[in-house]
Structure 1
Amino acid sequence: MSSITVHPPESQVSELFRAAFRRHAAGVAVITTAGPAGLTVSSVASVSAAPPALSFSVMGSRSGRALLEAPSLVINLLGPGHATLARDFASSGGARFTPGQGWADLPTGEPYLPDAVAALRAVPLHRIPVGESTLVIAEVVEVVLGEPAHPLIHHNKNFFIGTGEPAPNHIDPAP
């Protein structure tokens, strides 16, 4: 049987929060802008379909600051072949924008991955400071769809490939 801590002391909430989100699987993206600058995130979320908008959060690294100052961004949704690239863009010393990584430029100048599951060019609408991070809400102005593929997933400090297999006890909706 597992135990649950309901009301931990204030000093423990931050660490427990991090532990909780290590247990939460999330899709992986590399967000880029002209310069070039980019970083790996697992915080991308759909906000609205009309107008199309998304959100993500970044911390104050040099790449993060470049993204926060950019007039436009590309959110590259990663697939199964991108784990090494995701690791490179997640660390300050990783290789970035090398010829072997497959980058191309959109006509507007931002780097994007043609072999990504999708690349969404977006214009920031709001930048909201929250603690040590900034939440960005951006309107999607262009979408480049790659070949259909399983997503790259981040869970417990590792990358995995989402297989698309239904969970146990999956029940198909009635026809």
Structure 2
Amino acid sequence: MRYLFLLAAIWPLSACWSGLPFYTAADAAPAIAEGVYRMSEAGSDMADGDRITIRQRADKSLSIEGGDHPMQALTIPLGSDYPGRFIVQLQKIDPASADRAPKAMYLLLDNRDDKMLISILPCDAETGAIVRAHGGSVARDPQSAASCTFPSRALLHRQMLAVAAEPMDDQIELTKVTP
């Protein structure tokens, strides 16, 4: 998976961490400035990556445009032991799905060292077992990797802390191209 904005299109098929929208704007803190950003694989020299526009909303959430569906995101500080690291709660803004239960996808943002890296978190066997043991679920699709659905905010946060301590693969780099 190369680009964040593609998450909107491949959300149901992607390997990811998801759950109810556990966080509210009251939990959020600014982590990404308004502007147009280029997305590319971390470490690549792609100068023509896909672009998204990010705008701050009055309630501390972010509006993200540039994909098939507009999205809303909250950036929540991971904790005082992880400065510059944030949980990203990402939700599609889709009026057609108003009658369905809300769902959020969770990512990890590393906003240190003068660059922003977003990690798409895998639902590996260990994480899947923990999620199931706490009443969550794991969905498997033969055409994609597994997706973990977390049953609670506390479990999600605990697992975020665990993965934040490890080196991350499959990162997307956001590079600001305009203010």
TM-score category of the 2 structures, normalised to the smaller one: under 0.3
**TM-score in terms of structure 2 length:** 0.26
**TM-score in terms of structure 1 length:** 0.26
Q: State the structure with more CA Rg.
A: 1
RCO comparison, higher one (Cα < 8 Å, 6+) = 2
